Amino acid sequence: MTSKVAFRVLQSLGLLLCLIFSLAAPSFAQQTDPKPLIDALSKADFGEAEKLIGQLAATGDARLVPALNAFSEGDLYFRKSDNLVFIGKAAGSNYELTDPVTGASAGQTAKNAVTKIKINNSLRRVIRSAMGGLTLLSPDRGVRLQAADAVLRSPSAENLELLETAISKETDGEVKARMVEARAVSLLSSDRSIDEKRTAIQTIKNYGGRNAIGILMGASAGLDPSLKGDVDAAIASIESGQRLWDIGQNVWYGVSLGSVLLLAAIGLAITFGVMGIINMAHGEMVMLGAYSTFVVQQLIRDHAPGLFDWSLAIALPVAFLVTGAVGLVVERGVIRFLYGRPLETLLATWGVSLILQQTIRSIFGPTNQEVGNPSWMSGSFPVGGMTITWNRMWIIAFSLSIFVALLVVMKKSSFGLNMRAVTQNRRMASSMGIKTPWVDAFTFALGSGIAGIAGVALSQIDNVSPNLGQSYIIDSFMVVVFGGVGNLWGTLVGALSLGVLNKFLEPSVGAVLGKILVLVLIILFIQKRPRGLFALKGRAVEA
């Protein structure tokens, strides 16, 4: 009851506001019917079309958004018989026509009865900013924010007045800030006074960030020469502030890459580091984890779409069990016959990896599978001059928690105790009644299961294809070897430092060369310290 009442009140308030605006803003005063403007597009060349779009934007009529959108997508047609404009969607050999303003259906028509209205990229730009203007007044906060962003990306003086009205009406702090920034940017290309522009430059400077530099540089050409000093000072000031943030951002990227490496390598730290098994199928375990996620999401989409945001949480145990089980089978079926023959293990597990890859390829096909991001994984937020995306944020948190969990299992659980006993002194462990074969099998399964869990996380940032694992296997081995075999902390430090190193090399030498350099550095490093950063000394490791 109450909500309904509240809604009514809001609605009338909105109407009232609109009325006030239409009085206050001159462009709103002529509440023209947009239909003739749209129909005029049928005969307009690109130049005229641009003007028409400007006029459409000036109507402030939010109903025009779909039409503009369709125009930009190339879905706007005019009927040859009467030159009326419609939004058209292909329906078999016909077009399904809808009214561009009201959205009412206008029936179907043969394809050759209509002509597409031509569009080019400069028009698309104009359309984008026009739509930005139209949606700035939307009652939906998200839409307004997007609109402000759109204006920011392609500022135009035409939006200026609209922006100003929108700002005066805006109550949400973040949206308002974005609009103020967009206004300042738009103002630079307008014919406003030099003083106003000077303040705008200050405003932009205060927002800072990489974009601001780009905006100022772009705008400076068209600006009055007397403003040049202001622009340069602003750019310099942003840059000096930005430098620190850049380093921070690089560290962040590095840590984020490092956490991906950690995820990929941590299962290997167990199978290779603790058990000494060269598991070349490790990457495929990661891949199986990613496909488990895919299958879980498919099932959720089909049967319980409401649970989609939970899909990753559901996929975690599934992936762990699936890959753990595969690991168990591989250990019992192949690896256990090869203990003490590491090079043979390497070959046999490579064979396993080929079989797993081909199995997945036969079932799901060779192409990438679409794995969705739940809403809480998408988007980003700014921290000072850096941008932090949610998915990276979660992946870092996730890999660290897996690391901690594993550490606890190894140190505290009785299974961890048995595991360490077996790896340190197999004979004594078995004479104390530990069933060493099963400890081996379950340790391997644990390592594989963790690789599967890593696959769940990696499915969020990488292409899920049968080759997924291949791209991680070499990096994972590098991390484990670099960090020091048999030492989980070494793996952590190894992963993070390789990640950061990679990201710091990238800007100066490029991504590929950076990666090559890191590989070469590791190769050299292994020569110096064949047992890695945190090497265990002693006979046990030499044997």
Partner 1 sequence: MNMISETRQKSLLYLENVSVSFDGFKALNSLSFVVEPGELRAIIGPNGAGKTTMMDIITGKTRPDTGTVLFEDTIDLTKRDEADIAQLGIGRKFQKPTVFESHTVWDNLELALNRSRGVFATLFYTLSAEDKARIEEILETIRMTHRKNEYAANLSHGQKQWLEIGMLLAQEPKLLLVDEPVAGMTDAETAETAVLLKEIAKTRSVVVVEHDMGFIRELGVKVTCLAEGSVLAEGSIDFVSNDPKVIENYLGR
Partner 2 sequence: MISGFVFRALEGRIVAAVGILLGIGILVPALNLLTPPDSAIHIPTYAMALFGKYLCYALLALALDLVWGYCGILSLGHGAFFALGGYAMGMYLMRQIGPRGVYGNPILPDFMVFLNYKELPWFWHGFDWFIFAMAMVIVVPGLLAFIFGWFAFRSRVNGVYLSIITQAMTYALLLAFFRNDMGFGGNNGLTDFKDILGFSVQADGTRAVLFFMSALMLSLCLILASAIVRSKFGKVLVGVRDAESRVRFLGFRVENIKLFTFVVSAMMAGIAGALFVPQVGIINPGEFAPANSIEVVVWTAVGGRGTLIGPIIGAILVNGGKSFFTGAFPEIWLFALGGLFIAVTLFLPKGIVGTIQHGLKARHALKAAADAEKGRGDATTVAQAQAAE
Residues at the contact surface with partner 1, assessed by CB under 8 A: 536-538
Of 112-120, 281-289, 308-316, 532-540, which part binds ligand ADP (CB under 6 A)?
A: 532-540
Beta bridge partners of 115: 78
Place of tokens 């590791």: 522
Task: Give me the least distance between CB of 290 and partner 2, in Å please.
Answer: 19
The DSSP secondary structure of 43-66, one letter per residue, reads G--HHHHHHHHHHHHHHT-GGGHH
539 binds ligand ADP (CB under 6 A): yes
**Residue 427 near residue 407 (C-beta atoms within 8 A):** no
In 3D, which of 443, 35, 150 has the Cα closest to residue 277?
Answer: 443
Q: Which is nearer to partner 2, 427 or 528 (CB)?
A: 528
**Which phi-psi region, left, alpha or beta, contains residue 217 (left: φ > 0; alpha: ψ -120 to 50)?**
alpha
530 binds partner 2 (CB under 8 A): yes
Residue of the chain from 6, 513, 540, 541 that contacts partner 2 (CB under 8 A): 513
Task: Give me the least distance between CB of 540 and ligand ADP, in Å please.
Answer: 8
461 binds partner 2 (CB under 8 A): no
In 3D, which of 474, 475, 472 has the Cα closest to residue 463?
Answer: 472
Residue 243: exposure state from Cβ atoms within 10 A (0-12, 13-18, ≥19): exposed
358 binds partner 2 (CB under 8 A): yes
278 binds partner 2 (CB under 8 A): yes
Place of tokens 């992963």: 495
Other C-beta atoms closer than 10 Å to the C-beta of 226 total: 10
Kindly report the length of the chain.
543
Q: How far apart are CA 12 and CA 64, in angstroms?
A: 22
Question: In the numeric block, which tokens belong to residue 260?
Answer: 């991906």
Q: Residue 358 binds which one of partner 1, partner 2, ligand ADP, none, with CB within 5 to 8 A depending on kind?
A: partner 2
Distances (CA, A) of 293 to 51, 155, 453, 454, 485: 50, 41, 9, 11, 30
Q: Which is nearer to partner 2, 111 or 531 (CB)?
A: 531
Q: Which is nearer to partner 2, 338 or 393 (CB)?
A: 338
Q: Which is nearer to partner 2, 297 or 476 (CB)?
A: 476
Beta bridge partners of 85: 78
474 binds partner 2 (CB under 8 A): yes
Task: Give me the least distance between CB of 254 and partner 2, in Å please.
Answer: 19
Task: Give me the least distance between CB of 535 and partner 2, in Å please.
Answer: 12
Stated as kind and residue range, the H or E segment containing 186 is helix 173-188
Residue of the chain from 17, 217, 354, 404 that contacts partner 2 (CB under 8 A): 354
Other C-beta atoms closer than 10 Å to the C-beta of 203 total: 17
One-letter amino acid for residue 236 of the chain: A
Residue of the chain from 92, 173, 306, 538 that contacts ligand ADP (CB under 6 A): 538
Q: Residue 355 binds which one of ligand ADP, partner 1, partner 2, none, with CB within 5 to 8 A depending on kind?
A: partner 2
Q: Residue 122 binds which one of ligand ADP, partner 1, partner 2, none, with CB within 5 to 8 A depending on kind?
A: none
**Residue 262 near residue 495 (C-beta atoms within 8 A):** yes
Q: Residue 246 binds which one of partner 1, ligand ADP, partner 2, none, with CB within 5 to 8 A depending on kind?
A: none
Of 286-294, 346-354, 358-366, 534-542, which part binds ligand ADP (CB under 6 A)?
A: 534-542
344 binds partner 2 (CB under 8 A): yes
Of 51-59, 209-217, 435-443, 533-541, which part binds ligand ADP (CB under 6 A)?
A: 533-541
Q: Which residues contact 339 (CB under 8 A, 6 or more apart)?
A: 345, 440
Number of residues that bind partner 2 (CB under 8 A): 40
Task: Give me the least distance between CB of 273 and partner 2, in Å please.
Answer: 12
Task: Give me the least distance between CB of 178 and partner 2, in Å please.
Answer: 40
Task: Give me the least distance between CB of 147 and partner 2, in Å please.
Answer: 41
Residue 371, φ and ψ in degrees, nearest 5 = -110, 125
Residue of the chain from 528, 537, 539, 543 that contacts partner 2 (CB under 8 A): 528
Q: What's the number of CA atoms in the CB half-sphere (13 Å) around residue 230? A: 21
522 binds partner 2 (CB under 8 A): yes
Task: Give me the least distance between CB of 455 and partner 1, in Å please.
Answer: 36
Q: Which is nearer to ligand ADP, 222 or 538 (CB)?
A: 538
Q: Which residues contact 67 (CB under 8 A, 6 or more apart)?
A: 38, 76, 87, 100, 101
**Residue 131 near residue 147 (C-beta atoms within 8 A):** yes
Binding residues for partner 2 (CB under 8 A): 278, 280, 334, 337-338, 342-348, 350-355, 357-358, 361-362, 470, 474, 477-478, 481, 512-513, 515-516, 519-520, 522-524, 526-528, 530
Binding residues for ligand ADP (CB under 6 A): 537-539
